Amino acid sequence: MKSGTVETSNEPDGTGNGTAAAGPDRIEVHNPATGGLLASVDVDPPERVAEIATRLRARQAEWEAIGIEGRSEWLGRLRDWLIDNTERVLDTMQAETGKVRADAAAEPLYLADLINFYATKAASFIGEESVRPHTPLLAGKKLRVQYRPYPLVGVISPWNFPLTLALGDAIPALQAGAAVLLKPSEFTPLGVAEIVRAWKEEIGGPDVFDCVQGTGETGGALIDAADFIQFTGSDRTGRRVMARAAETLTPVSLELGGKDPMIVLDDADLDRAANAAAWGGMFNSGQVCMSVERIYVEEPAYDEFVAKLTAEVSRLRQGADGRAPAKDVGAMTSPNQTAIVEEHVSDALANGARALVGGKRVEGPGDYFEPTVLVDVDHSMKVMRDETFGPVVGVMRVGDAEEAVRLANDTRYGLSGCVFGERDRAERVARRVECGAINVNDVLVNYLAVDVPMGGWKESGIGFRHGEFGIKKYCRPESIVVTRFGGSREPSWYPYTRARRRLVSGIGRLFYARGLARRLGLRR
């Protein structure tokens, strides 16, 4: 079978073990909401990855040559296809992730917005720059910077937002003029494959965009073949990606895990804060890199906040959802992740925490973990230190905002966070949290503000997506210095003579020294 194509299963949903079984040649994709087998996909071996990379690279120059407007037109057709086929795309993605409909629904719209954003902004972000020389000595030079794309960008993506985190990084790379080869997660290969197929067969897009399927071996081959790697995934894999890329000196941008804090000040609107904590912690079953994972509440607000949060989380409906949203919280997409969530919660409970809601895995079919609120937690517990990536929040009582900030920053991660409280005070507190993005009186919303950078500090990553950063990183600046006029030789060229040396250093002093005596060479 060709790369990017899949065989779908006629088996009814409701059987199987919910794993993406990865043999050496084929991947079996299951529906985590039911456990049923969905499809099996051919794995692309390293030789095939190299072959596709060569093919795409050969077409990249033409893609670059059609310019920002030409590329915007093609990407606009992709946007239209996504909008026209949203229900179909959501069906596939919902099946392979086990998401509820409402959680899946945001992805095609986000991608459409991103295409529009970069179509409008690309010229100002990566268009040619004209630069005024900083010194009169270069007044005769014309200075320009042009931004040329890396020929082939490899995008390696995870399973939690299979379209957003693959196409969301491919779109600015394509808009920059690069060819793009995607490798989606082995747990969720189907949605990306469907869109790449549409690009080729329905949209008739240029042959600069493709995908390969497989696990770490395929990902490794992509690192070897690409000129730039955009990786989203765990910090553990991110380290391996960076080490492999070092062998070929391939630049990387890494979007890794998080342990995002929420701070609730005593002057917060506690209804809004509690509802935000419930949604920010349980959205996509907590399988969100920017998910609310730890909550610090100022003492006077603690009891009321916890009561409101517990009530909100208790009301959530969990299970397999259909096209019409009838559930709030879906399945765990990867069984490996369910095991981690279970381990974190067990560790907390064994060390004195209490589960006010939830606290355990749900019996099958399907792979679910109950929406869980833990209290009496502290930083000795895994659930407050390591990325849980499940529908679990830990809530701690703090004496004041100082303690909240200290605890929020007591982590090896630094992806994002949020602060709830009176606006000015909350903003002052927010500015002290060490992370790539912070929301005041909202959660997760910075991801939709594609105008500003999104990325991690500390072990949450290297590099940023969105805004100017999100497209410029796919380009290499090329400085062009044009001499407008000049004689047969410059004063600094050969031959070196005493008179020419005095002239050059005299002119240099005149412009670069400070103070009249130094400029005129009267002071040595």
Catalytic residue positions? 255, 289
Minimum CB distance to ligand NAD, residue 165 (Å): 5
Minimum CB distance to ligand NAD, residue 395 (Å): 21
Residues 330-359 that bind ligand NAD (CB under 6 A): 334
**Applying CB under 6 A, which of residues 40, 175, 185, 439 lies at the interface with ligand NAD?**
185
**Applying CB under 6 A, which of residues 168, 258, 330, 414 lies at the interface with ligand NAD?**
258
Contact status: 160 vs ligand NAD (CB under 6 A)? yes
- Residue 288 phi/psi, 5° resolution? -135, 130
Structure tokens at 497: 């003579």
Contact status: 156 vs ligand NAD (CB under 6 A)? yes
Q: Which is nearer to ligand NAD, 22 or 66 (CB)?
A: 22
Cα separation of 273 and 268, whole Å? Answer: 7
Packing angle, helices 190-197 and 86-97, rounded to 10: 150
Contacts (Cβ under 8 Å, ≥6 apart) of 288: 160, 161, 389, 444
**Applying CB under 6 A, which of residues 118, 125, 159, 420 lies at the interface with ligand NAD?**
159
Q: What are the strands of the beta sheet with 37-42, ordered from one edge?
A: 6-8, 37-42, 26-30
Minimum CB distance to ligand NAD, residue 335 (Å): 11
Query: Are 439 and 417 contacting, i.e. CB atoms less than 8 angstroms apart?
Result: yes
Minimum CB distance to ligand NAD, residue 160 (Å): 5
Cα separation of 494 and 507, whole Å? Answer: 17
Minimum CB distance to ligand NAD, residue 388 (Å): 10
Q: How many CA atoms lie within 13 A of 112 on its CB side?
A: 14
Minimum CB distance to ligand NAD, residue 48 (Å): 16
Q: What is the total count of residues that contact ligand NAD (CB under 6 A)?
A: 30
Instruction: Choose one: 59-67, 150-158, 274-282, 395-403; the region binding ligand NAD (CB under 6 A).
Output: 150-158
Helix (H, G, I), strand (E, B) or coil at 507: helix
Query: Are 444 and 469 contacting, i.e. CB atoms less than 8 angstroms apart?
Result: no
Nearest to 135 by CA among 478, 491, 517, 507: 507
**Applying CB under 6 A, which of residues 186, 260, 312, 367 lies at the interface with ligand NAD?**
186
Q: Which is nearer to ligand NAD, 159 or 209 (CB)?
A: 159
Contact status: 165 vs ligand NAD (CB under 6 A)? yes
Cα separation of 18 and 37, whole Å? Answer: 8
Alpha helices in 351-391 (DSSP H): 382-385
| Contact mark string toward ligand NAD, 392..411, x via CB under 6 A | --------------------
Q: Which is nearer to ligand NAD, 102 or 340 (CB)?
A: 340
Residues 203-242 that bind ligand NAD (CB under 6 A): 215-216, 219-220, 232-234, 237, 240-241
Contact status: 158 vs ligand NAD (CB under 6 A)? yes
Query: Are 166 and 182 contacting, i.e. CB atoms less than 8 angstroms apart?
Result: yes
Q: Which is nearer to ligand NAD, 230 or 441 (CB)?
A: 230
Please measure the distance between the N-terminal and C-terminal CA atoms of the chain and give it in whole angstroms.
78
Cα separation of 146 and 148, whole Å? Answer: 6
Residues across the chain: 524
DSSP string, 335-353: HHHHHHHHHHHHHHHHTT-
Q: Which is nearer to ligand NAD, 72 or 334 (CB)?
A: 334
> For residue 4, is it left (φ>0), alpha (ψ between -120 and 50) or beta?
left
Q: Which residue sits closest to ligand NAD, CB atoms considered?
A: 219
**Applying CB under 6 A, which of residues 121, 183, 385, 466 lies at the interface with ligand NAD?**
183
Residues 281-300 that bind ligand NAD (CB under 6 A): 289
Instruction: Choose one: 256-264, 374-382, 394-402, 484-492; the region binding ligand NAD (CB under 6 A).
Output: 256-264
Instruction: Choose one: 22-30, 96-104, 180-188, 266-274; the region binding ligand NAD (CB under 6 A).
Output: 180-188
Contact status: 256 vs ligand NAD (CB under 6 A)? yes
Query: Are 317 and 327 contacting, i.e. CB atoms less than 8 angstroms apart?
Result: yes
| Contact mark string toward ligand NAD, 419..458, x via CB under 6 A | -------------------------------------x--
Cα separation of 293 and 172, whole Å? Answer: 30
| Contact mark string toward ligand NAD, 460..489, x via CB under 6 A | -x----------------------------
- Residue 68 phi/psi, 5° resolution? -60, -45
Structure tokens at 425: 């005070």
DSSP string, 460-498: TEESEESTTHHHHTTEEEEEEEEE----SS-TTSSSP-H
**Applying CB under 6 A, which of residues 115, 415, 419, 426 lies at the interface with ligand NAD?**
415
Buried b / exposed e across 4-36, counting CB within 10 Å, b at 16+? Answer: bebeebeeebeebebbbebeeeebbbbbbbbbb
Q: Which is nearer to ligand NAD, 72 or 284 (CB)?
A: 284
Contact status: 28 vs ligand NAD (CB under 6 A)? no
Contact status: 257 vs ligand NAD (CB under 6 A)? yes
The contact set with ligand NAD (CB under 6 A) reads 156-160, 165, 183, 185-186, 215-216, 219-220, 232-234, 237, 240-241, 255-258, 289, 334, 387, 389, 415, 456, 461
